[in-house]
Amino acid sequence: MTVDNIKKNAMKYTSAYPEIGTGKLGVEPIISPALFELERERLFKKVWLKVGRLEEVPNVGDYKVKKIDVAHTSIILIRGKDGGINAFHNICPHRGNKIISETGNETFGHARANVLSCRFHGWVFDTDGPVRSIPREEAFSSLDKKCLGLRSVHCDVWEGFIFINLDENPTQSLSEYLGGLGDHFSGYPYGDSTCSYRYSTVLNCNWKVALYAFTEGYHVSTIHAATFPSLATLQHTDFKLFGPHSTSTLYVPPAEGIVTTPATAAFGSVLQQSERHRPHLDQLPKGINPDRREDFQFEFPSVFPNFLLHLGAGAGYPGMTYFTHQFWPIAWNKTLWEGTNYFRPPTKPSERAAMAHVNALHRNAWLEDTGTMEDTHEALTSGVLKELVLMDEELMIRNTDYHWRRYIGV
């Protein structure tokens, strides 16, 4: 093989997308507080952001409150009387109190009689938004009640994932925003996996440090060597870019001599042998693992800007149909990371125990992942490195950075 051929091969995915370039990645977007202020306005207040799942608010009146620090707001997602999802800023139009007091980054509850009340002065709002009653209304000199309802936020649902857009006039619908990526992932029965386990932590790093660490598979054979020795043969392939979004596929061909612990083998077989929990490769959308390879691990996309949806259909980790990551900026150097595993609900104690084991394995891997992030951030803030070099399979990072620059205008 000639040197030119080797170079061409080395960049086979990257060279398919010349528009995003092949250069190094500047460090400034990660370590600049000034650029973070632009991110608030030009990115997080402009794009569609995934904020929940329909199963989290199953009944009329159920609500979820999601804090969005980067936009200095929190959002009420509530199942309206027509069964649809309404989204409102969690702020009372009287004098600005929070309608629902938060108990953490996510708060869940139920609006009795389909109303929400502000505990400060007792204004009452319909769950569809309009103000319903105002104590001592006659004491206000003039009130245009039509303008005193809850402040709505654009909200739409794709495949059971609830998204919001904080822009008053979004330039794209959710469907337009997701584009080809939405089509690529559509049609899977996500709603069957009603059993979820969420892990989260606040990391002292820029949100892109965390995001980038989770959007490449290059680190797997080193960082996860002890937790997942079977991943040593990982193939990260089939990269596709859909505007700011991207996807790729992970396969793990079987290898000789892999030692699995007795617990992992036993719990894994409980789920593998269950018709309900075994891998259902036939349910994958057509464009994902089109050859239905049995060594399929999971589809691995980056949904711009801060959401990852890993679709495994039970093949990647026993019983786990999909898992998600999300990265919420709190400050330029502080990030809330959330990882959630989804399963079909267990039908017996042995399945529940097996799921707990799979969760623990995944948690261990995530501890290994998150363990690098604060170190990376601190080292980058030294300013010693001005640029980062990327290999071919770090293409999704390159695509995110390219589109990030377009939104921010730098």
Residues near ligand FES, by CB under 6 A: 92, 94-95, 97, 118, 120-123
Q: Which does 304 bind (CB under 5 to 8 A by kind): ligand FES, Fe ion, none?
A: none
**For residues 340 and 323, is the Cβ–Cβ distance under 8 A?**
yes
Q: Which does 373 bind (CB under 5 to 8 A by kind): ligand FES, Fe ion, none?
A: none
CA distance 334 to 105: 14
- Name the minimum Å distance from CB 111 to ligand FES: 16
Kindly report the number of other CB atoms within 10 A of residue 143's CB atom: 13
Q: Could you say which DSSP state residue 183 is in?
A: H
- Name the minimum Å distance from CB 129 to ligand FES: 15
CA distance 288 to 276: 21
Phi and psi at residue 395, in whole multiples of 5°?
-60, -35
Phi and psi at residue 339, in whole multiples of 5°?
-125, 130
- Name the minimum Å distance from CB 104 to Fe ion: 26
Q: Which is nearer to ligand FES, 135 or 409 (CB)?
A: 135
Q: Which is nearer to Fe ion, 370 or 399 (CB)?
A: 370
Q: Which is nearer to ligand FES, 123 or 322 (CB)?
A: 123
- From the list 31, 28, 34, the residue with the least C-alpha distance to 387 is 28
**For residues 153 and 87, is the Cβ–Cβ distance under 8 A?**
yes
Q: Which does 145 bind (CB under 5 to 8 A by kind): ligand FES, Fe ion, none?
A: none
Q: Could you say which DSSP state residue 168 is in?
A: S
Q: Which does 361 bind (CB under 5 to 8 A by kind): ligand FES, Fe ion, none?
A: none
In the complex, which residues of this chain contact Fe ion (CB under 5 A)? 369
Q: Which is nearer to Fe ion, 375 or 387 (CB)?
A: 375
- Name the minimum Å distance from CB 393 to Fe ion: 13
- Name the minimum Å distance from CB 222 to Fe ion: 10
- From the list 206, 168, 202, the residue with the least C-alpha distance to 337 is 202
CA distance 270 to 175: 39
- From the list 156, 151, 80, the residue with the least C-alpha distance to 118 is 151
- Name the minimum Å distance from CB 199 to Fe ion: 13
Q: Which does 94 bind (CB under 5 to 8 A by kind): ligand FES, Fe ion, none?
A: ligand FES
Q: Which does 369 bind (CB under 5 to 8 A by kind): ligand FES, Fe ion, none?
A: Fe ion
